[in-house]
Amino acid sequence: MKPAPFEYDDPQTVAEALDLLARYGDECKLLAGGQSLVPLMNFRLARPGRLIDINRIDSLSGIKGDDGMLVIGAMTRHSAVEHSTEVAGGWPLLTEAVGWVGHSQIRNRGTVGGSVAHADPAAELPAAFAALDATFRVQAKRASRLIGWEQFFVSEFTTALAPDELVVAVEVPRPQPGVGAAFVEYARRHGDFALGGAAVTIKLDAGGHCEAVSIALLSAGPAPVRATSAESMLRGAIVDQASIRAAAVEATRGLRPTADLHGSTEYRLRLLQTMTQRALIKAAERAKATP
């Protein structure tokens, strides 16, 4: 099918985009990579009256890392993250996560900011950002602010963004030296939405005890879930098969992933446990291999 008619602006600068957002707010929709929005428009499930296309704002794309922080511009394409040596060197969890996003043709257009603003609970990057305690830089004409991932993701397809606000960048703190990370997910076909997945970071001490750990789940609830009680269970414990298994079970306690034709709630819970277990095993192996 074809999209319904809309008004179209393609500002060249952030200031112009913010002007347009301030003027039109709820009546308009931002067009980033379009890999989720345009399918919805083609089906006429979405019929925005006006699109503000931010693809011509060059200052919104780019990857910059330093000792403390990785800053990814909102319009950075998934493929740029995928192939960035900077990201692979310091934030390998993101490299692994982004490889699961759609197909290469989708990753050539899809953007980091678009993914977080779309807030699909099955999306890879929001879960990876949750595991890495990322913060989102947000601008409006009236003010700018930083929003932590936990406040940012409100519910499915719902964020804390006001109608006049634009995500301009994602800030990801550099993981401590010695941290191992892993991202795993399961989908029926390559490139499909994940039925369940886990993003994990872990640091071990010399005796094999867990010094620090983060566990984030995708397709587990309306927003990315941090399994905090499983994390505290693991912290200080010897990381072995038994403790990993126990943490994986704990990670899904209290969750009720929505059943659909691809899987019941029970199936999805079991899947999430398995994904968590695999991610923890992989991340712990990598942590051991890291000097």
Partner 1 sequence: MTRKISIEINGRLAEGEVEPRLLLADFIRDVAGLTGTHLGCEHGVCGACTVQLDGRPVRSCLMFAVQAHGHRVATVEGMAPDGDTLSTLQQAFHESHALQCGFCTPGILMSMEAFLREEPDPSPASIRAALAGNLCRCTGYQNIVTAVRLAADRMQSS
Q: Report the residue from 3, 148, 178, 222 that binds partner 1 according to the rule CB under 8 A.
A: 3
Q: How far apart are CA 258 and CA 248, in angstroms?
A: 19
Residue 38 φ/ψ, nearest 5 degrees: -65, -40
Q: Report the residue from 105, 176, 228, 232 that binds partner 1 according to the rule CB under 8 A.
A: 105
Q: How far apart are CA 118 and CA 107, in angstroms?
A: 15
Q: Residues 156-194, buried b or exposed e (16+ Cβ, 10 A)? A: eeebbbeebbbbbbbbbeebeeebbbbbbbbbeeeeebb
User: Minimum distance between the CB of residue 181 and partner 1, rounded to whole angstroms?
Assistant: 22
In the numeric block, the tokens 């990876």 are attached to 128
User: Minimum distance between the CB of residue 103 and partner 1, rounded to whole angstroms?
Assistant: 3
Q: Does position 5 bind partner 1 by CB under 8 A?
A: yes
Q: Does position 207 bind partner 1 by CB under 8 A?
A: no
Q: Does position 22 bind partner 1 by CB under 8 A?
A: no
Note the Cα 143 to chain centre separation in Å: 25
User: Minimum distance between the CB of residue 255 and partner 1, rounded to whole angstroms?
Assistant: 29
Stretch that binds partner 1, among 34-42, 195-203, 231-239, 257-265 (CB under 8 A): 34-42
- Between helix 241-251 and helix 265-289 the angle, nearest 10°, is 140
Q: Does position 104 bind partner 1 by CB under 8 A?
A: yes
User: Minimum distance between the CB of residue 5 and partner 1, rounded to whole angstroms?
Assistant: 6
Q: Report the residue from 108, 243, 274, 290 that binds partner 1 according to the rule CB under 8 A.
A: 108
Nearer to partner 1 (CB atom), residue 190 or residue 241: 190
Positions 70 through 89 that interact with partner 1 (CB under 8 A): 79
User: Minimum distance between the CB of residue 80 and partner 1, rounded to whole angstroms?
Assistant: 11
From the list 190, 145, 195, the residue with the least C-alpha distance to 165 is 145
User: Minimum distance between the CB of residue 188 and partner 1, rounded to whole angstroms?
Assistant: 13
| Cβ atoms 183, 279 nearer than 8 A | yes
